[in-house]
């Protein structure tokens, strides 16, 4: 019930629409309840019993009285139609407002939670919550909140009117109400559990679809189309069965309610006819009774849908509010201040970090990186290289120790100002479906074309962009599929350069470019790195050899540190990495240089 109250609370943010929706619904119910009374009185006006023969005859009545009844019925019908339109308009408007708020709250939450949340959540399931679950909540506002008022008012008002007309017929018509209420209670509980499972399976199926589309190149490269098809078919079949069971449960409940009511109508017709024949009930009152009883069919039949709406809203609301109530371990302090533009002196002071439910990823890491210095980080996979640089922009928060920039704890600053001063070029480059200009200028609101072009030139990408048919207006496909791997990485470098951060992180940023392109990028990046604190996670010889300090990590601990020459002489882990990975690259660089020298002599 608390979940439904939270949804109602969201709808109460729009009191005007909510008030108009309830007012128009109540007015429509009032007009609707007035119609049977007018019809019954009109019948009694025209039809009566002959006191001599006891037969029903057409009575004498004035034309004015008949016209007044006709005008009254017409006016009430028009009033009901207008109020129904107003209720539909305001209810739909209100439900769309609530769904709009839900989507924005969910989207904002997903933007602000830390990487730790996304590490354990599936993208497809989050997409399902933003679509199917929000839609279920919208239907609750539309039907559950507003239409349920119609159901409740009619169920309370109509039996009262029926008892007022004829208590014996009213008792007969109410025989099956306890059975209906009891069955509805059990069905509502069962449907809540069923719809919660349906929504979970739907999220899993969307996850399978999303992963398949994102990894289509891998699927086709390994000819795994049949395997993926079977995997999705299994999940789709599970969703079909669960969805069918939920709808069958709802349909069965609706059918039973209709059967109860139809049987009650038959009994009322039989007993009410005898009452009219015996003179205990007028034809008009019997007509009123049947018309009111007929109006009771709507709340009885609609109650099955209302129950289904309540059940889906509770299950969907539970899934949605679980995300909205998530407390991010990375959050701004109440007195967080803007960082401004720091010098970029970075220090790690006994930093430790553990991912959730895992062994420590870093243990007492100490490092000192001054402005203008290049720090290279090496180590085996899983040694903690990426974790170190992810802690600097607070994608995760340290669990021990602290990180400072210019002597101030990074947790004292706003996240936006901190991340604006820490530029990152990721190994896995992500580009948006937009133009090259928009991708380079992403994150910089007032970037001019000259700024974007200057950044592209530094990244050695300008000439290739100008060779494209539309230059900087060339559209980049989803995830940058229309560009080569080297072009995507250079575009990512240009995007980071444009921010002009004092602290720069290069996460293996030249891993997908050839030797000559790497040489060009590094030649251009020499100027960019001046005055900046640069961290590089790389396995390319040029970057490692040029670093001011090299950190070698093993199992979350810095086991070696120093310059290239110092570590080569130490006969440790770095020397092994150099012999196995870096020395072969040196030979490739020499081989690449020989043809270039030969071409130079030929030109002379």
CA pair distance 20, 91, nearest whole angstrom: 9
Distant-in-sequence, close-in-space partners of 425: CB < 8 Å, separation ≥ 6: 489, 492, 493, 496, 504, 505, 506, 507, 509
Q: Is residue 225 pLDDT above 80, yes or no?
A: no
Q: Across the beta sheet with 346-354, what order do the strands follow? A: 360-369, 346-354, 400-405, 408-409
Q: Is residue 429 pLDDT above 80, yes or no?
A: no
Q: Is residue 106 pLDDT above 80, yes or no?
A: yes
Give the per-residue pLDDT at 14: 92
Q: Is residue 344 pLDDT above 50, yes or no?
A: yes
76 or 195, greater pLDDT = 76
Greatest mean pLDDT range, 345-354, 466-475, 513-522: 345-354
Q: Which residues pair with 561 in a beta bridge?
A: 551
Q: What is the Cα 186 distance to its own chain's centre?
A: 31
Question: In terms of pTM, does the model score above 0.75?
Answer: no
Burial class (CB in 10 A: 0-12, 13-18, 19+), 26: middle
Phi, psi of 84 (to 5 degrees): -65, -40
Cα maximum dimension of the chain: 136
Local confidence band at 603 (pLDDT 50, 70, 90 cut-offs): very low
Average of per-residue pLDDT values in the chain:
80
427 or 248, greater pLDDT = 248
The 10 Å Cβ neighbour count of residue 212 is 18
Q: Is residue 85 pLDDT above 90, yes or no?
A: yes
Local confidence band at 22 (pLDDT 50, 70, 90 cut-offs): very high
Task: Please identify which residue in the block is written with the tokens 């310059």.
Answer: 563
Give the per-residue pLDDT at 596: 42
């Amino acid at each position: 019930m608390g979940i439904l109250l939270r949804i109602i609370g969201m709808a109460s943010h729009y009191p005007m629409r909510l008030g108009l929706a309830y007012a128009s619904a109540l007015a429509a119910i009032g007009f609707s309840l007035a119609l049977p009374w007018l019809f019954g009185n009109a019948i009694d006006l025209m039809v009566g019993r002959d006191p001599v023969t006891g037969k029903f005859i057409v009575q004498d009545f004035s034309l004015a009285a008949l016209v007044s009844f006709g005008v009254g019925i017409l006016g009430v019908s028009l009033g009901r139609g207008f109020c129904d339109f107003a209720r539909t308009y305001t209810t739909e408007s209100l439900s769309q407002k609530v769904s709009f708020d839900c989507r924005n709250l969910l989207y904002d939450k997903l933007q602000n939670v830390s990487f730790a949340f996304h590490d354990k959540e599936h993208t497809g399931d989050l997409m399902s919550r933003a679509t199917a679950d929000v839609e279920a909540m919208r239907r609750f506002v539309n039907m559950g909140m507003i239409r349920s008022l119609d159901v409740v008012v009619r169920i309370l008002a109509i039996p009262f009117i029926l008892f007022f007309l004829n208590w014996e017929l009213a008792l007969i018509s109410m025989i099956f109400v306890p059975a209906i209420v009891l069955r509805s209670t059990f069905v509502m509980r069962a449907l809540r559990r069923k719809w919660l499972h349906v929504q979970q399976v739907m999220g899993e199926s969307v996850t399978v679809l999303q992963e398949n589309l994102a990894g289509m190149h891998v699927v086709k490269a390994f000819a795994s189309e049949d395997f993926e098809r079977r995997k999705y078919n299994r999940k789709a079949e599970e969703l079909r069965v669960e969805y069918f069971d939920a709808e069958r449960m709802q349909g069965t409940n609706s059918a039973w309610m209709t059967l109860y009511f139809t049987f009650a109508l038959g009994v009322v017709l039989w007993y009410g006819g005898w009452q009219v024949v015996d003179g205990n009930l007028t034809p008009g009152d019997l007509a009123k009774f049947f018309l009111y009883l007929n109006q009771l069919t709507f709340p009885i039949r609609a109650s099955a849908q209302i129950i289904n709406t309540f059940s889906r809203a509770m299950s969907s609301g539970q899934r949605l509010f679980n995300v909205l109530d998530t407390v991010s371990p990375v959050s701004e302090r109440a007195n967080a201040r803007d960082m401004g533009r720091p010098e970029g002196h970075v220090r790690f002071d006994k930093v430790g970090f553990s991912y959730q439910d895992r062994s420590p990823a870093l243990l007492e890491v100490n490092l000192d990186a001054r402005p203008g210095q290049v720090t290279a980080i090496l180590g085996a996979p899983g040694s903690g290289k990426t974790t170190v640089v992810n802690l600097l922009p607070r994608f995760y928060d340290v669990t021990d120790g602290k990180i400072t920039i210019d002597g101030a704890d990074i947790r004292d600053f706003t996240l936006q100002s901190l991340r604006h001063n820490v530029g990152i070029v990721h190994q896995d480059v992500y580009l948006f479906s937009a133009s090259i200009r928009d991708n380079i200028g992403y994150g910089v609101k007032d970037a001019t074309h000259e700024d974007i072009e200057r950044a592209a030139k530094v990244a050695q990408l300008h000439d290739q962009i100008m060779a494209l048919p539309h230059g900087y207006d060339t559209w980049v496909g989803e995830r940058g599929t229309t560009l080569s791997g080297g072009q995507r990485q250079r575009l990512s470098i240009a995007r980071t350069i444009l921010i002009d951060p004092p602290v720069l992180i290069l996460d293996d940023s030249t891993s997908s470019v050839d030797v000559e392109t790497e040489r060009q990028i590094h030649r251009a990046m020499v100027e960019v790195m001046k005055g900046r604190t640069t961290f590089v996670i790389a396995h390319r010889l040029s970057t490692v050899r040029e670093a001011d300090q090299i950190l070698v990590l093993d199992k979350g601990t810095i086991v070696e540190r120093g310059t290239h020459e110092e570590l080569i002489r130490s006969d440790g882990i770095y020397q092994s990495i150099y012999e196995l990975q870096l020395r072969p690259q040196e030979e490739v660089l020499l081989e690449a240089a020989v043809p270039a020298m030969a071409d130079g002599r030929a030109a002379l």
